[in-house]
Amino acid sequence: MTMAKRTQAKLVDAVQEAAGQPLDQSFLLSLVGYNLQRTYLTILPQFDERMSKLQLRAVDFAVLSLLNANPNITQKRLSKAVKVSPPNLAVLLDRLETRGLVVRQRNPLDKRSQTLILTPEGVRLCVKAEKTVTELERKAVSMLDDAERAELLGLLQKVFLEAPPPQES
């Protein structure tokens, strides 16, 4: 057997052996971001499927839920809460307003800004979407008991609520 054939045979053996072994993900599984992403990618398709029936995207759902809980907030506050730039939020609100879900009104305290409220149809859709998402999340984390779920939420919120502001480069 020639040297090239022996090298090829060793490579074939190594590939076959590797194919039968589980992947070593130990480093990746030690990273918070990787675990968050994997969890997000597990839940997202189910979320998208259910919300598409209501013609909502994740950001639309977040906006409706925030407006339902906080009527008459300004577009500026909403923009910060959902981390969407004001111009992009304006486009999103145009779509929701066209669907009859949101109403913009002049802020009586500052005529330069607008406040936002849900229409009755917006409230109905929001309540239905929130119920759908609650059921989805219960199923998605059914392997956790109530205490574990509460702990997970608390830890995740600690990370994003207490995170220092990004540094400018």
Are 128 and 53 a contacting pair, CB within 8 Å? no
CA atoms of 101 and 119, how far apart (whole Å): 5
**Bridge partners of residue 83, in order along the sequence:** none
The pLDDT, as a whole number, for residue 111 is 82
Query: For 123, which DSSP code?
Result: H
pTM of the model: 0.81
Q: Which residues contact 67 (CB under 8 A, 6 or more apart)?
A: 73, 78, 102, 116, 117, 118, 122, 126
Kind and range of the H or E run holding 116: strand 110-118
60-140: what fold?
Arc Repressor Mutant, subunit A (1.10.10)
Tokens at 3, concatenated: 């040297």
Q: What is the dihedral of CA 163, 165, 166, 169, to 10 degrees?
A: -150
pLDDT of residue 145: 96
Find all residues with CB under 8 Å of 14, minimum gap 6, and list them: none
How many other CB atoms sit within 10 Å of the CB of residue 89?
20
Distance CA 163, CA 169 (A): 17
Residue 169: predicted pLDDT:
61
Average pLDDT for consecutive 10-residue bins of the chain (169 residues)?
A: 77 75 89 95 95 96 98 94 94 97 91 92 98 96 96 93 74
Each domain of the chain, given as residue ranges in start order, spans 60-140
> Count of alpha carbons within 13 Å of 61, Cβ hemisphere only?
19
